[in-house]
Structure 1
């Protein structure tokens, strides 16, 4: 790990863990939704590190973020909370905080100097009333385009740098019998594709006005209509098998050479890694458009509990999750980059190094929708987007009206 010693990692983690005896075999039930090949390999890093630290990791994986979060909330409200649970960085756990169901980790954050080591959008997304209520574990860039290098080389084409160029390139690939864009045909991924286009072609300011400020005038602007029209054109670049497809199956089409491009967060990179592929060799990654990276990630929260063993386990888990060596190993598997920007990423793949370099400039950091948008508005936008995507006869103007309606009605 270079400059990171075991002592510094211990000091960072939590002073009490280093100065007091640790209870043996603290059992920790961890609820999460990491079930794909790449995700499973990543969470195993945390489990192994916790076991090595003397704890007992009880894995409770539930497929699908919505399902996992609902199960967590039900357990907490029912008085039988897990020791630790996964959420996305953002507003998803606000109601739990408001109802006094989460433990704040501010003392650990101060001891570890989190505010000095993490990007501002991540800090703001996990702090409420001046206190950290979650442990961020990674930074995911959500608007990456992954591509099969051989397909582009064989076609004599370069990966597109802009979205208008992508439409042209996609049509050329389609003419050669290649699926231009492999899309997970579910509302979440249809929205994710639209968001990549919105920030890449519309710009970070328009992205924030639409999702954060719910600016009706911005939605009625010529630029937003231009984004909508480009999105409509992208329908023709997706294969007929897309509807209902899982995101990891879409990534697999690029991995196996059946499709050229796949838009997703860098968690999709975990699938390429699990398939034994190397960034810059079998596949590449790029940010189409203005080069701004939409960032979010994953956090773990600690439910309030009166059980002393569970409380000790929570403190140990916080130490393990942000240990520099564990951060590096986990993010290599997950496809994300360490949430601690002081970690040396020179041993990570080319895509991770590119992401880290982009995020070194705060001007390139754009907050993900789960950070700046309410769940209700995100859902309303997603409904409008998926209706537009799946209705080829719907015009861009009709879509704009749906967005305006969503802005005015969603809380």
Structure 2
């Protein structure tokens, strides 16, 4: 064998030996989310593309339905086979995972990126536990929005956005009379509880909302506010179709997009479905805060990072945390998803009027957190069950319902 051939063989052997090491050394991430609707998938793809552009290897393990994704994630944790990253709502829902030592802190990345300086304090506080950062926030959503079909409003003779609940129900009557399904209702408990909350905010105000959920106040004003909320919620039953039970939120949004229904109560992620369908805000559809709302309920998404032994996945976690908080990525992600960026230093010029309004409310402090951010998972689940049971039982009056509501906090 000549020297040239020997060198070629040695080189080939070295290349073969180094290939697995290189592959193992490369940042990789299996990412589990419930972002599977058209707009959500498009938004997630913004992060995926940037992750891959920076050399990462991405594996998508998205599962439709937040509850289904959570259940699958917990099963993976129990089995000792967690994904590298999990979509998570910021706040208390992550506290148990942290206390059990199941999540990895990303404090070094947060400090290097000066996240404390570019995130609203209320958001930053909900991404940290015991002084360390565990969550990389992606976006925030307002949950007090009503989306409506401009064509349906025109057909029914509804002129302008209703400013009060009386005007709103009058508009629903006009839609019904015009042969348009008044409300596109997503008949799942988590959707129903969001409608409950947006109505509650209109009845008790920002301070009253926080008194109920944070202070667990049971004073006369709080009880009366919950009763009025249940009265309004119960009145909506007359404007919902028989096919509502179990309906996914994006299927309800499609009813408004196609003009089959007049309005939908939903977080601003629904806007992403209009965008994906090629609809224009102000021309084809509109968005308004729930009537008489002094601000908005908000929820914020993030990635959490389970403890994992694989070195390549650890590198993938660090890279994903950086990518999710990149200012350009945050804007492009929000444009696809219908949300608002979490960073306060992003270029806001690309955002539409709904997103600008949401940012304005956040900047002014006219916001209250979704129950998932400030209640234990057990209490948040109990609230969903309570609202679903009330909605499904038209014979129950608001006074009896209010007693059951406050029993959640006992």
2:346 is matched with which residue? 343
2-structure distance, mates of 1:113, 1:73: 31
Indicate yes or no: 2:93 matched with 1:92.
Answer: yes
1:241 is matched with which residue? 243
SS at match of 1:161: coil
1:190 is matched with which residue? 192
2:219 is matched with which residue? 217
1:217 Cα offset (Å): 2.4
SS at match of 1:203: helix
1:322 Cα offset (Å): 1.2
Rg larger in 1 or in 2?
Answer: 2
Instruction: Please give the residue correspondences for 1:243-322 in structure 2 after superposition, counting only pairs within 5 Å.
Output: 243-288=245-290, 289-322=292-325
Q: 1:254 to 1:230 in 2, by over 3 A?
A: same
2-structure distance, mates of 1:189, 1:346: 31
1:155 Cα offset (Å): 2.6
SS at match of 2:219: helix
**Range that drifts further, 348-357 or 59-68:** 348-357
SS at match of 2:139: coil
1:323 is matched with which residue? 326
TM-score, normalised to structure 1, is 0.90
Residues 45, 326 of structure 1: 8 Å contact kept: yes
Residues 219, 404 of structure 1: 8 Å contact kept: no
SS at match of 2:92: coil
1-structure distance, mates of 2:117, 2:130: 18
Residues 278, 349 of structure 1: 8 Å contact kept: no
| Alignment RMSD (CA, Å) | 1.9
Indicate yes or no: 2:368 matched with 1:372.
Answer: no
2-structure distance, mates of 1:99, 1:376: 17
2:124 is matched with which residue? 123
1:169 is matched with which residue? 171
Q: 1:282 to 1:326 in 2, by over 3 A?
A: same
Residues 189, 384 of structure 2: 8 Å contact kept: yes
Residues 162, 201 of structure 1: 8 Å contact kept: no
SS at match of 2:408: helix
**Range that drifts further, 256-265 or 229-238:** 229-238
1:198 Cα offset (Å): 0.6
2-structure distance, mates of 1:379, 1:219: 25
SS at match of 2:61: strand
1:7 is matched with which residue? none
1:43 is matched with which residue? 44
Residues 181, 261 of structure 2: 8 Å contact kept: yes
SS at match of 2:58: strand
Q: 1:337 to 1:262 in 2, by over 3 A?
A: same
2-structure distance, mates of 1:404, 1:219: 13
2-structure distance, mates of 1:168, 1:201: 19
Q: Deviations along 1:74-129, whole A, 9 cap, x unmatched?
A: 22232222111111122222111001111111222222222222223222221111
1:218 Cα offset (Å): 5.2
1:305 Cα offset (Å): 2.0
Q: 1:291 to 1:281 in 2, by over 3 A?
A: farther
The structure 1 residue matched to 2:361, chosen from 358, 363, 367, is 358
Indicate yes or no: 2:31 matched with 1:30.
Answer: yes
SS at match of 1:241: coil
1:23 Cα offset (Å): 9.0
1-structure distance, mates of 2:391, 2:63: 29
SS at match of 1:300: strand
Structure 2, unaligned runs of 5 or more: 1-22
Q: 1:178 to 1:202 in 2, by over 3 A?
A: farther
1:3 is matched with which residue? none
1:19 is matched with which residue? none
Residues 156, 177 of structure 2: 8 Å contact kept: no
Q: Deviations along 1:237-265, whole A, 9 cap, x unmatched?
A: 21222111111110111000011111111
TM-score, normalised to structure 2, is 0.90
2-structure distance, mates of 1:300, 1:111: 18
The structure 1 residue matched to 2:405, chosen from 397, 400, 403, is 403
